Every structure is written in structure tokens, then in C-alpha cells.
Amino acid sequence: MANDAEHSTATRYIWDVPARLFHWLLAALVITGWILGEFGPFIKTWHFYCGYAIGCLVVLRILRGLFGTPPHSFGSFIYGSRATLDYARSIFERAPSNWPGHNPLGGLSVIALLAVLAVQVSTGLFADDDILNKGPLAIYASTGLRSTLTAIHEINSKIILALVALHVGVVLFYLFWKRENLIKAMITGHKQVRK
């Protein structure tokens, strides 16, 4: 990856409307749902609604990952260990990656975020605080299973917080260290990429 300074670039339309809508809706819902879950009213009706919406978005994103086209399909952004390591070694270079889509590490982050959100929504459906909030599927699980899934729901919320913080931190690192504005690309859809 020594060619970064030299490679010629072009502006291309990378993130289509569904991708951008998905991203910002998901961001808003995860932040709202997380804050409501942790600090919101004790009756968690709106937290539940956020969870249902996030579940729908995650399912749609998985379908697009399985049956969609690059740069959205999972196959297009899951790289081998060699490419991933190469990318990781070059990450501290003070130059934009100009990657046409999710780079190898970014792709891993997409998978990780989808996975923790899928876990969060599915455990939430069975969660029960034994006081007055009960996931819609809680009645189908035994008391033991329910309390285990509720405990996982709580622990996993901390993992989500950590991964979201990492995601935002890395985007800021790209902005200030690598001088590559990924936020603007996710708003306009246009990204400076290698030819």
C-alpha cells in the first residue's frame, strides 16, 4: 500500500439512497433505543418500538448483504486475512484510503455491528424485568432461559456502546488523521475513490 500518495482518484457515487437511509435511521434508532433503555422511563414502550424498528433494519441489511450487489453484498467487503492485514498495516499512513466501499477493516466492523444488534434485538424479544416490562416472546421461554437472555441483553448493551464508540472514533480518525471525510460520503453518497 505504498502507492497511496500517487494513485489517481475520482469522485464516484458509492452509497445509494437505501444505504444512506439505512445508516442514519439505524444510527438514530440505536442511540434513541440505547438511551431510553438505560435512562428512559421505567415503562419501556418506546424502547420496544426502537427495538422492533432496528430488528427490521437489520433483517433488511442482512438480505441486501446476501442477495445485493457490491459494495453492499457481504461477499464484496469480506476480505481474506492477507488483504485485511495489509490494510491494517497501512491504516496509520496520513493519507486517505480512497477505498471504493467498505475497506477490509470497515467490513469487519459492519459484520460486528450487525451481529451485536441482531443479538440485542433477539434477546430483547424474550427479555423480562420481572416487574413490568416483558418482551413479546418472553411468554414462550422458560423462567431460566428468560433470565439468561435478559442478562445477555444487559451485557450486550455495553458491547454495543463500545462498538459504536469505536466506529465513531475511527471515523474521526479518518477525518483528522487520514484527512478522509467518510461522514460527508455517507451524507451525499459521493466518495473520492481510487481509479
Partner 1 sequence: MTITANFKFLSVLAICVAVVAVPTMALTQEPTEEDKAISQRRAFMQLILRSFGPLAGMAKGEMTYDAEAAQAHANNLRALTGYNVGGLFVPGSSNADRPGTTRALPVIWEKLDEFASRYGDLGGAMVALAEAAGQGQGALAAAVGNAGKACGACHENFRTKDF
Distance CA 28, CA 11 (A): 27
Q: Which residues pair with 134 in a beta bridge?
A: 128
CB of residue 159 to partner 1, shortest distance in Å: 16
CB of residue 50 to partner 1, shortest distance in Å: 16
Decide whether 57 or 125 has the Cβ nearer to partner 1. Answer: 125
Which 139-158 positions form the footprint of partner 1 (CB under 8 A)? 143-144, 147-148, 150-151, 154
Q: In 3D, which of 133, 162, 163 has the Cα closest to residue 150?
A: 133
Amino acid making up residue 84? T
Question: Would you state the cell numbers that stand for residue 43, as one nine-digit string?
Answer: 415503562
Decide whether 9 or 45 has the Cβ nearer to partner 1. Answer: 45
> Three-class SS of residue 59?
helix
CB of residue 130 to partner 1, shortest distance in Å: 7
CB of residue 191 to partner 1, shortest distance in Å: 44
CA dihedral 137→140→142→145, nearest 10 degrees, is -40
Contact 149, 123 (CB under 8 A): yes
Binding-residue total with partner 1 (CB under 8 A): 15
Distance CA 19, CA 57 (A): 11
Which 3-62 positions form the footprint of partner 1 (CB under 8 A)? 41-43, 45
Decide whether 35 or 43 has the Cβ nearer to partner 1. Answer: 43
CB of residue 30 to partner 1, shortest distance in Å: 23
Which residues of this protein are in contact with partner 1, per CB under 8 A?
41-43, 45, 129-132, 143-144, 147-148, 150-151, 154
